[in-house]
Structure 1
Amino acid sequence: MLKTARLSAACAVTMSLGLAGCAAPMEESSPNVVLTFADGFSEKHPLGAGTVQPFLKYLEEHGEAVGIEIRRLPPGTIGSTKDHLTLMRTGVVDMGQMVPSNQPTQLPLSAVADLPGISDDPCAALDALMPMMREGGILYEEEFKAMGVRPLFTMPIVGYEVVTKGKKVESAADLEGTLLRSAGGVSDRVLKHYNAAPVNIPGSDIYEAISRGTVTGALMAPLSIPEYGLQDVVHYATDGANLVNLTSGFGISIETWEELTPEQQEVFDGASLLAQTEGCQAQIDADERMDQVLVDAGVELTEITPEQREAWIDRLEPVHEEWLSVLESRGSPSREVYAEFQRRLKEEQS
């Protein structure tokens, strides 16, 4: 029976990581395969509503016919997204969230879509990236296969902006000396090139950190601002800087995947395709209404024109070469990944 044999080892890993909770064994009398799903999105987050909910709803509607049941763990109850790769690999959960910037040692190449200025179109970035993550793709073969995880769907979150309390940011020079919450990975490199100090703070602590002045603000996607209530604490936000992206996705343990029947795998593929399609549109829709949400909350938007943005992005040109060189020095095919992503992106945008 799927998962039962791995349960004791899984619980041991859960406890060793200091995490609460352990997936209960499936009842032997159950006619279905019961799979656990972990994520970090609340239902009110645009990508929680736009990707996770359609994915799970599709599985609920089509899974019973092929003997699949999904048990979603409440977000945050079994560790952060940084832990999900380990939790999937060790069988604690079957499916989890993958954020390459949070896992720079395990998934460094998969952050290629995060690089500054590389794309401001979430749909094109998604369509360029996902074939590289599937079986036979370079990212699957170089990273995910070794991690024991098969990507199901991904979603590059594009267009990160600077939000601040007390200090208005109108140019790249205004970032010098600021302390800004960063998602890690490429975002850290971006802030350092502006002579700002990146600070890694859990999402649940961002509001308090900004409110108390621990940090000046944050580099983040506007669509995530309401998730943390930051519109009530920040005074300013750039609009049009589009400094960096953040790739987020979901995967399933390869061991679990290989134990599914072809019919069950087909249902997962259908759910994944729906999540990508709806998630992409959800991101576009959220971005379009976010300016008004911020203005209504009293946040002053600082427009960064396309001409001004060129000056911002010019400062970040070395970030691409740094990313390439550092990974290349570790023996990773970073230039091959970079070239393929650029080629695929160009094809999607043509």
Structure 2
Amino acid sequence: MLLTKKFVQHSVGFTLASLLSMPVFATQTIKAVVIDGYPAKAMWVHEFSEFFIPEVDKRLAKTGNYKMDWQQSYGGSIVKPKGVLEGIKLGLGDIGIVTTIFHNSKLPSQSLSAATPFISNDARVVAKAVDEIAKEYPSMQKEFAKQKQVYLATGVVLNTYQLYSKKPVHKASDLQGTKIAGAGTNLRYIEGIDGAAGVRGGLTDFYNMLNTGLVDHAMLWPEAASTFKVVEVAPYMAEINFGAVNTKTVTVNQRYWKSLPDEVKTALSDVAIEYRDHVATIAMQRAEASRQQFVEAGGTIITISPEARKEWAELMPNIAKEWAKTLNSRGEPGSEMLQAYIDKLKASGATPVRDWTK
């Protein structure tokens, strides 16, 4: 009997010791390869590292069930800027920041804000409205699904395109007979101006294009103008306020997404929305600071009158209706999306210079 009692005590003690030495739970580590072709210093990439990733980690740490092993590859180490969409599709990265303006044919619905200029300069309002359209209508998500990826959230990293010139510009007719550099859809903003010719280029090209006389003007946003010292070759900024445009989208490889636990999916989805608003807020702050830097560097800002803005908008072809018709022809609710988007901007306090639905 004594032997049995000692045996039981020993067994209980051993069991307790074993339990105490074991972890309460086993944290699962999930690898995530994040890619973007732009360098780590690019604002949206920097904020992905400094805001998005830490916020996801904080949420997962609350339960301790999962931990992310982030492997960040930027600046062309895996893909170039134009290659993120294809890179995520092929599984070269698990999560990426797609620059949508490079893929108008594959992602036509992403051009919604670019096709509706002269409405809102508020990056936060535009980002939220585009994101809501993406959630309320399946078109945007279907486009990414065809590329084998899951749409998380849009991103607006510029508050508005402005016009930077060698000589003062006060109205659209001042561009007659001149050449204007642009990145894509925004070159359509000069259609309707007699003798004005658009020249496609990228941010890294604009300085030399202006300096060599290849173009007389360039459309870009204040922060980019400050970064590339455009004031040295184009000392006049026509504050035309074409409007904020979404150009980035956070996406996840479809197969990778399906493999994730629901808790991780929720964390990524929720933080993507916060990242959207965070980046848009920074874009607004940097825009104001960049305007001041432009003036301090010797630049002159010319405020375009409301009448001149309206005249400019009316000269343009209705690229918004064209955008809607293109989607309609593919069986997508383009016209409905256009109306819903503009209604959202109006509800936020924006006043369209032109009614793009007519």
Distance 1:154 1:53, change over 3 A: farther
Rate the CA distance shift 1:89–1:341 in 2: closer, same or farther, 3 A.
same
Counterpart in 2 of 1:191? 190
Is residue 119 of structure 1 aligned with residue 120 of structure 2?
Answer: yes
Q: TM-score, normalised by structure 2?
A: 0.78
2:59 is the alignment partner of 1:77: no
Kindly indicate whether residue 130 of structure 2 is the aligned counterpart of residue 133 of structure 1.
Answer: no
Give how far 1:178 is off: 2.7
2-side partners of 1:176 and 1:246: how far apart? 29
1:37 to 34, 37, 54: 34
Is the contact between residue 127 and residue 348 of structure 1 (CA under 8 Å) also seen in structure 2? no
Moved more, 226-235 or 323-332: 323-332
Q: Which residue of 1 aligns with 2:264?
A: 264
Q: How far apart, CA to CA, are the structure 1 residues paired with 2:103 and 2:337? A: 17
The number of residue pairs the alignment matches comes to 318
**Deviation readout 1:90-112 (Å, 9 max, x if unpaired):** 11112222333221111111211
- Which whole-Å deviations, capped at 9, do the CAs of 1:178-221 have from their partners, x for residues lacking one? 3222221x213213333533322233333222222223232112
What is the aligned partner in structure 1 of residue 305 from structure 2?
A: 305
- Distance change in 2, residues 1:138/1:159 (3 Å): same
The structure with more radius of gyration? 2
Contact 1:45 1:224 in 2 (8 A): no
- TM-score calculated relative to the size of structure 1: 0.80
- Superposed CA deviations along residues 200-255 of structure 1, whole A, max 9, x for unmatched, are 22333332222222232321121222333323332211124325734322211122
TM alignment of 1:157-176, pairs within 5 A: 157-164=158-165, 166-176=166-176
Distance 2:327 2:192 in 1: 18
Output the CA distance in 2 between the equivalents of 1:62 and 1:205: 41
1:146 aligns with 2:160: no
Residues 158 and 246 in structure 1, CA contact (< 8 A), matched pair in contact too: no
1:144-192 deviation per Cα after TM superposition (whole angstroms, max 9, x unaligned):
222222222212333211112x3332211122333222221x2132133
Q: Say if 1:268 and 1:306 are closer, same or farther in 2 by CA, change over 3 A.
A: same
- How far did residue 77 of structure 1 move? 3.5
Shift of 1:83: 1.9
CA 302–50 in structure 1, closer or farther in 2 if over 3 Å, else same? farther
In structure 1, distance between residues paired with 2:77 and 2:202: 14
Helix, strand or coil at the partner of 2:50? helix
Counterpart amino acid of 2:145?
K
Query: 2:287 matched to which residue of 1?
Result: 287
Quote the residue 1:9 is aligned against: none
Structure 2 residue identity aligned to 1:223: E
Cα–Cα, structure 1 residues 312 and 76, in superposed 2: closer, same or farther, change >3 Å? farther
Corresponding residue number in structure 2 for 1:26: none
Q: State the Cα distance separating 1:319 from its structure 2 match.
A: 2.3
Q: Tell me the C-alpha RMSD between the 2 structures.
A: 2.7
Classify 1:177/1:45 alpha carbon distance in 2 versus 1 (closer, same or farther; 3 Å).
farther
Shift of 1:295: 0.5
Task: Return the match for 1:55 from 52, 55, 60.
Answer: 52
Q: For the Cα contact (< 8 Å) 1:152–1:272, is it kept in 2?
A: yes
Aligned-partner SS, 1:193: coil
Query: How much has 1:60 moved relative to structure 2?
Result: 4.9
Mapped contact 1:241–1:312 kept (Cα < 8 A): no
Mapped to 2, the partners of 1:202 and 1:79 lie a distance apart of: 18
* CA distance in 2 between partners of 1:214 and 1:71 (Å): 41
What residue is the counterpart of 1:92 in the other structure? 92
- Deviating beyond 6 angstroms after TM superposition, the runs of 4 or more aligned structure 1 residues are none
CA distance in 1, matches of 2:314, 2:33: 44
Return the alpha-carbon distance in structure 2 between the equivalents of residues 144 and 331 of structure 1: 16
Shift of 1:338: 1.0
